[in-house]
Every structure is written in structure tokens, then in C-alpha cells.
Amino acid sequence: MYQSPKVKPLCPPEKKPRFEDIPYADVTLKDGTPYTLKLDIYQDPQQTGPGPCIVYIFGGGWSWGEYKQVTQKAVYCRDLVRLTNQGYTIVCPDYRLISQSLFPACVHDVKGCIRFLKANAERFHIDPNRIGALGNSAGGHLAAMLALSQGHPEIEGDVGGNPAYDSSVKAACLFYAPADLPREVLLNVAKMDQEPVDLTGTEVENLSNDNANSILALAIGYTGPGHNMKTLSELIQKGDTTDPDWKYVELLKLMSPIQYVSKECPPVCLFHGGSDPLVDPSETEHLYQALTKAGADATMIEYSWGGHGPSLGPEIDQFAYTFLMNRL
């Protein structure tokens, strides 16, 4: 029976990118500093024709991690890169962390990445109609936003331009992803009065437990005197839309994949560990139920002993890769 290891080693890709450090957009950070978003493209060097593409979005609580995958402990990028032997292109994009820019910058970034890939499909030997996404934790949330919020201009943004192209993906796999951010705030606040959880080996192991539980307040800029996770929770529960701070709740809703569920969503597969110490498994169950009710094509796998990465076991991980391969 597979169980996540307590000590989780680094898990870099086993090949070098065919196209490395490709700029895909120039943005501005919250302090006004210019910043260039880049991506790496892994592909068989002999490939000349258009083929299917999987965009891997790294996790780290929107607070940590990088597209180069040199500090990551999740297995997914490494495993996906092995698919280049079967004609798949794997793309690993950078996106702005919340220390660089608040929500919704990271969503705008990954959507800009998809538009860039479609606009440059011939250059990078990608079939623009066969692009999927896979992400874990915060990366799973961003992959969910790609899959579910396509066709919603209010969350599209204009990062990198290429407005003639859409940011839709054909299918997505979401590993232990937050789905309903106001609900996640309430769950996190409830955990604050419990014993601290062991975050060792998770994507946010470098953060203290308090900071890990407060990520969503930090992500929307709900900070300063009188602003903390507990007051944010109270604001959500009160439901007073006339409160001047209600704009923060609206931003959480805007960034919630569950808000965009419809029958037209592309096929998605949701994964979660029943022993996840960071993102409550009910988040995935909640999203799956919403997708099912809407009549969307959704699959869910939950493993009782699974934690918050670096894997839910080779069989489950392989199911995710096969799910995408069969739909691209």
C-alpha cells in the first residue's frame, strides 16, 4: 500500500528543456518593478510537427516555487517530462507569486501563457487545439481556473497580449486544489485553534503554520490593523455586502474555480489525499459535486492515506497522465 514518504527528496526533470527561458510576457510587480515572465518547453528535439501539449503549473501556496523546478518536491513535472518520448510537449511557466503581485495576477499570468502558446504554436511545434493542464496545490487551483473560467472576460486579463487567441484548455488534472476560497478561509480559521499540523514535505514547508493558514488573506491584500484571517472569516459569515471590506470577499469569489462551473467545462479529473494537512479534502469533494450537478465531465479520485504531495502514489499519478493523454 502506497504512503507518502516523510522525507521528500527534490524531484527535478530528468531532461533539459528544448526551449529554455522563453519570455512570454512583460508585467509589473506590485512595487512597480518591471518583470519578465518566462517558461521552459520540454520536447523531443526531433519533433517538427504539431503535437499535444501539457502545461504543468507548480504549487507552493501561491507563495513559493519556480518554473525551473530546482527546489520542487512534487513528482508531476518529472513524470510529465518523460512523456516527451511519446510526442508530448511539456510547458512549465513562471507566474507571479503573491509576494510579487496580489490576486488575480497569477491567474492572468497562466491565461497569458496559454494565449502565448497558441499564438506561437507553429514555432514550438504545438497543436493549439490539444493543450491540457496539470497542477498541484496552488498550481492545481490555477489549472482549475484555466479549465473552468474560460470564456469569462472578467478574469481573463491581458498579460502578454495575444487577444486574438483564447486561454481555453482541452482537459485538466487538479491535485489537491483549493476550489472555493471563501469556504477555504472558514476551514483554515477553524484549524487555527487546533494543534499545528506538520507541513514537512508539502509545497509550503518553508512557511510557518500561522503563515500557511493566512495565505489567502495575504493573497488578497487583507492585511494591516484589524485585518486578519479571523476578521476575514467573520466578514464572510456576516455576508454584509455594504461593508467597505466586502471587496476582499468578492476578490476571493472571483478567484474561486467553483464560481465558473458549467456543463460546458472541459473534462477535469480531481485528486486529493484524505490525510491532506493543508487543503481540506472536502474542497475537492465540493467542486466535484458542483461539476456533477452541472452535468460536466468530471472524475474524482481520493486516497485515504494520501497527503499533500509529493505524490498520491504511482498508480494514481499515472491515472492523471493517462487521463490527459486520452483527451488531447
Same domain, 137 and 33: yes
Instruction: Give the Cα separation of 92 and 53 in Å (integer).
Output: 11
220 within a domain of the structure (yes/no): yes
Residue 225 is assigned to a structural domain of this protein: yes
Q: What is the pLDDT of residue 310?
A: 86
Gap between the Cα atoms of 48 and 313, Å rounded: 34
pLDDT for the residue 202: 66
Specify if 275 maps to a domain.
Answer: yes
Give the Cα separation of 186 and 282 in Å (integer): 12
Whether 66 and 94 have beta carbons less than 8 Å apart is answered as yes
CATH value at residue 108: 3.40.50.1820
- Kindly state whether residues 155 and 201 are assigned to the same domain: no
In this structure, are 213 and 299 located in the same domain? no
pLDDT at site 3: 61
Residue 6 is assigned to a structural domain of this protein: no
* Residue ending a domain, choose from 207, 229, 251: 251
Tell me, yes or no, whether 198 and 300 share the same domain: no
23: left (phi over 0), alpha (psi -120 to 50) or beta: beta
* Domain match, 125 and 40 both: yes
pLDDT of residue 1: 53
Q: For position 208, what pLDDT does the model report?
A: 54
Which residues is 57 bridged to in the sheet?
135
Element (H, E) at 52: strand 51-57
Predicted confidence at residue 108, as pLDDT, reads 98
pLDDT reported for residue 213: 67
d(Cα 90, Cα 21) in Å, to the nearest integer? Answer: 14
If asked whether residues 174 and 192 sit together in one domain, one would say no
Residues (pLDDT < 70) of the chain are 1-8, 194-213
Report the distance separating Cα 41 and Cα 1, nearest Å: 34
Q: Are residues 77 and 157 in the same domain?
A: yes
What is the tens place of the pLDDT at every residue in 96-151?
A: 999 999 999 999 999 999 999 999 999 999 999 999 999 999 999 999 999 999 99
Q: Does 30 reside within a domain?
A: yes
Of 212, 232, 251, the last residue of a domain is 251
Give the pLDDT score at 194.
66
Are residues 247 and 203 both part of a single domain? yes
Among 195, 220, 251, where does a domain finish? 251
What's the pLDDT tens digit per position in 178-198? 999 999 999 888 877 766 666
pLDDT reported for residue 64: 87
**Residue 11 located in a structural domain:** no
Domain that holds residue 211: 182-251
Number of domains in the chain: 2
Residues 191 and 166 in one domain: no
β strands within 94-144, DSSP E: 126-136
In a domain, 4, yes or no: no
- Does residue 91 sit within a domain? yes
pTM: 0.95
Shared-domain flag, residues 42 and 120: yes
114 and 195 assigned to the same domain = no
Residues 210, 268 within the same domain: no
pLDDT tens figures, 245-262? 999 999 999 999 999 999
What share of the chain has pLDDT > 90, as a percent? 81
Give the pLDDT score at 254. 98
